[in-house]
Amino acid sequence: MPDLLSFFGQDEDRSRDAVHEGKRAMDKVRELDLEVRELRKEVKRVQSAFHALWDLTAESMGATEDQLRDKMAEIDEREADGVNLLAPELVSCPSCNRKVLLDRKTCIYCGVALRGIKGDA
């Protein structure tokens, strides 16, 4: 009989451990959910600031959306890790036909997947 009681005691321990792990997992989910919500708020603030700056730039300097896209591509290329900044390898997006870095997984302009596309030489 002691072996049987010991067996059931181990089940109780395992159940207690599982409940404890479940609670820790739920706490982590809540923590990450809060972090995601905060990041979404920050993204909205940055988007709002970007739109305001773009409107001011377009109005005061007469900048065009094409110039904005070109500058964004230039910055993207400059900040990309491991890219030759003097002559980065570019590829044409099959969807919007804009030039993006060869190493990108998606187009920075339209979001289409770029896997398997060869560079424009």
2 and 14 housed in the same domain: yes
4 and 58 housed in the same domain: yes
The answer for 97, left when phi > 0, alpha when psi is -120 to 50, beta otherwise, is left
Q: Which domain holds residue 92?
A: 64-121
Out of 48, 63, 78, a domain closes at 63
Asked if residue 100 lies in contact with residue 91, where contact means CB atoms within 8 angstroms, the answer is: yes
Give the highest mean pLDDT range of 37-41, 84-88, 108-112, 114-118. 37-41
50 and 70 housed in the same domain: no
Q: How many domains does the chain have?
A: 2
Per-position b or e across 15-41, b if 16+ CB within 10 A of its CB = eeeeeeeeeeeeeeeeeeeeeeeeeee
41 and 11 housed in the same domain: yes
76 and 51 housed in the same domain: no
107 and 79 housed in the same domain: yes
DSSP assignment of the chain equals -HHHHHHHHHHHHHHHHHHHHHHHHHHHHHHHHHHHHHHHHHHHHHHHHHHHHHHHHHHHH---HHHHHHHHHHHHHHHSTT--SSS--EEE-TTT--EEETT-SB-TTT--B-TTPPP--
Out of 63, 89, 106, a domain closes at 63
Out of 63, 84, 113, a domain closes at 63
Using one digit for the tens of pLDDT, what is the confidence trace for 9-18? 667 778 888 8
34 and 76 housed in the same domain: no
Asked if residue 98 lies in contact with residue 109, where contact means CB atoms within 8 angstroms, the answer is: yes
44 and 71 housed in the same domain: no
Residue 78, pLDDT above cutoff 80: no
Asked if residue 107 lies in contact with residue 96, where contact means CB atoms within 8 angstroms, the answer is: yes
Q: Is the pTM of this model over 0.85?
A: no
